[in-house]
A and B are shown apart, each in its own frame.
Chain A
Amino acid sequence: MRVALYREMTLNAFRSLLAFRAEVLLFLFGQLFRIFVQVYIWYALFGDSGQLASKAGSVTIQEMITYVVISSVISVFATNDVIFRVSSKVSSGEIAMDLIKPMSFRSVIFCQAFGTNLYRMLFELIPLIIVSLLFFHVQLPSPANGLAFLVLVINGLILNFLITYTIGLIAFWYILVWQVNTVLNGLIRLFSGAFIPIWFFSDSLVKFSYFLPFRLIYYEPISVYLGKVTGWQELLAIFIQQLAWMAGFLLLQKWMWSRAVTRLVVQGG
């Protein structure tokens, strides 16, 4: 294992970002506004009743607010620029400079994304959590649920990285990455349950969401956090689905990479 190398790459990515502090502040404000808007929309929807019926039984306003906050926390990590990073490296020919190094391209991108995550953890996540705790009543999970949640979130984030990396590789064939990214964001927004929990979906939408990996990134871990998923069989089922999708994307990106390398044209110079 070359842990030291990955550590140093990640730290370098982290250091690179220290140059752009204004960007982070703006992003943080954006996140906070979004939480406030979502929370007040849910207040309006719940009205006086304090709880709504759903596919996961009745949901209280407290649970819903907790859902919004946790979803924002996950999105701090899940919103990455992997697609753009990969595609810009391919189209500018900068990828050549990564390929002369004794390291896989995937690891380079992963370390850079991870460094970005570390950075955002410090400058976005912590302020976000503080504000949420001050203004909203966020429920805390039971220790067992909390632990399961943590495992599932980490898996979800790895899955999220693999999905975005694989899509980024499309840049070797088409320079449509902007558009693909927009479609992907739409899909994630709807089918991951990042904005509206899947328990409020109609039957057909719920079924459809089961064919996509996105709900494994947001909805399922948050459901576990809130104690909506009970029984270890259900937990295990989520975990296995995550592993299956991860394995699928690992294979897919490997296959795409092997095809991509043979058609690589290094632009300029």
Chain B
Amino acid sequence: MPLIHVENLRKEFKRQKRKDGFWPLMKSLVYREYEQKVAVEDISFTIDQGEIVGYIGPNGAGKSTTIKMMVGILVPTSGDVRVNGLVPFENRIENARRIGAVFGQKSQLWWDTPVIESLRLTKYMYEIPEDRYQQNMALFGDILGLDEFKHVAVRSLSLGQRMRADLCAALLHDPEIVYLDEPTIGLDVVVKERIREFIREINRERGTTVILTTHDMSDIEKLCSRVMVVDHGRLMYDGNLNTLKNDYGNMETMELDTEEVFMMDDALLRMGISFSRTDDARSQLVYDKKNINSSAVIKWIMDRYSVRDFKVKETEIEEIIRNLYAGFSQDERQRQEVIV
């Protein structure tokens, strides 16, 4: 049986319509107009124990709303969420005992007291046995580097320090599932790497299930075996990261620096290669990996030019997701045309 079971999940928000101008404003004092906004529309998936799932999509796609329903903070408009057999919003406290959550934009730590006080409080909150607490503090403190600031008041921490402390607080009680809503937002590369290592470690050692939303694609590439892509409240892709890359990320870019001025050739065009020049006068060739491979391209070029330097870049995952959106909206359009 899967650990998390989500079926036909939907969440609507009522939002007051606001209009500009004096009379509409006066009118709104007496009569308020509301509009429905659908944040999550018919999402279904299951997650097994021990998975690390990346939940990605643009801003306002419905990622956080879905997570908040899984955590039990928001009540779904319709559909079913079951975590560990429990309906989270009906059993919020029971569910809260078994999960950990970090919302990157907010902190669960006590603002005016030293970090260690907030961490100590979790011991009482979740009734963590003393030896387990010490053990976890030692391990987490080590990976996250908490020692340097654990006696500092939370309000004077840097963002990276606060995030590490928040992660520690969310995981001290060995939760079965941990929800991380943009845990690396606004952090520098070193801290990001530290946090990723921590998540990997927890997942490997404890078998903790991790659900992660992020805008940083390297988070996904380094952590997740499975990705779910959501847009406009709908699940657009759910599966293996490599499959996503192969299906939507088949374009490759080659950057060239040649002795002679590189000239575009009909032969290249016939191979399906497009050409552009970068700002620093290098040449850029873009081609489909499925039709032609990089060694064939470079061979063709080296036969004709002397190459000083070249670089081959795979499609970045942002690009892949852009392609996915483009493909999706095309499908939509075709479907609508059929209906018309």
Contact = CB atoms under 8 A, between A and B. Distances in A.
A231 interface: no
B300 interface: no
Contact of B124 (A5, A93, A262, A264): A5
A139 interface: no
A19 B152 CA distance: 13
Given A101-B125, A266-B74, A16 B112 contact: yes
Contact of B92 (A5, A9, A99, A268): A99
Interface stretch (B102-110, B141-149, B201-209): B102-110
Contact of B97 (A17, A102, A104): A102
A8 B75 contact: no
Interface string B178-193: 0001100000000000
Contact of B74 (A15, A19, A97, A264): A264
B96 interface: yes
A101 B64 contact: no
B110 A103 contact: no
B104 A269 contact: yes
B10 interface: no
Nearest to B126: A102
Interface in B73-96: 73-75, 89, 92-94, 96
Contacts of B103: 96-97, 269
A94 interface: yes
B45 interface: no
A12 interface: yes
Interface stretch (B21-29, B113-121, B218-226): B113-121
A8 B181 CA distance: 28
B34 interface: no
Interface in A96-111: 96-97, 99-104
B123 to A, nearest CB: 8
Contact of B125 (A99, A102, A268, A269): A102
Contacts of A5: 124-125
Contacts of B97: 102
B105 A8 contact: no
Contacts, number: 81
A100 B108 contact: yes
A4 interface: yes
Interface in A242-269: 261-262, 264-266, 268-269
Given A8-B121, A12-B117, A97 B108 contact: yes
Contacts of A17: 112
A264 B92 CA distance: 14
Q: How large is the interface on B (under 10, 10 to 19, 20 to 34, 35 or more residues)?
A: 35 or more
B110 A264 contact: no
B311 to A, nearest CB: 37
A15 B117 contact: yes
Given A101-B125, A102-B97, A266-B74, A8 B120 contact: yes
Given A8-B120, A8-B121, A100-B73, A269 B113 contact: no
B285 interface: no
A103 B105 contact: no
Nearest to A95: B73
Interface in A1-39: 2, 4-5, 7-9, 12, 15-17, 19
B56 interface: no
Nearest to B120: A8
B182 A269 contact: yes
Contact of A93 (B71, B106, B107): B106
Nearest to A94: B106
B64 A269 contact: yes
Contacts of A96: 68, 73, 103, 106
Interface centre among B13, B101, B125, B126 (most CB of A within 10 A): B125
B72 interface: yes
Nearest to B73: A99
B100 to A, nearest CB: 8
A44 B68 CA distance: 61
Given A101-B125, A269-B104, 16 more contacts: A8-B120, A9-B121, A12-B121, A17-B112, A97-B103, A99-B71, A99-B73, A102-B125, A102-B126, A261-B75, A261-B89, A264-B73, A265-B13, A269-B64, A269-B103, A269-B181
25 contacts: A4-B124, A5-B124, A7-B124, A9-B121, A12-B117, A12-B121, A15-B113, A16-B110, A16-B112, A96-B68, A96-B103, A96-B106, A97-B106, A97-B108, A100-B72, A100-B96, A100-B101, A101-B125, A102-B126, A264-B74, A264-B75, A265-B13, A269-B104, A269-B106, A269-B182
Interface of A: 2, 4-5, 7-9, 12, 15-17, 19, 93-94, 96-97, 99-104, 261-262, 264-266, 268-269
**9 A-B pairs with least C-beta separation:** A269-B105, A16-B112, A102-B96, A5-B124, A102-B97, A97-B108, A8-B124, A100-B101, A99-B73
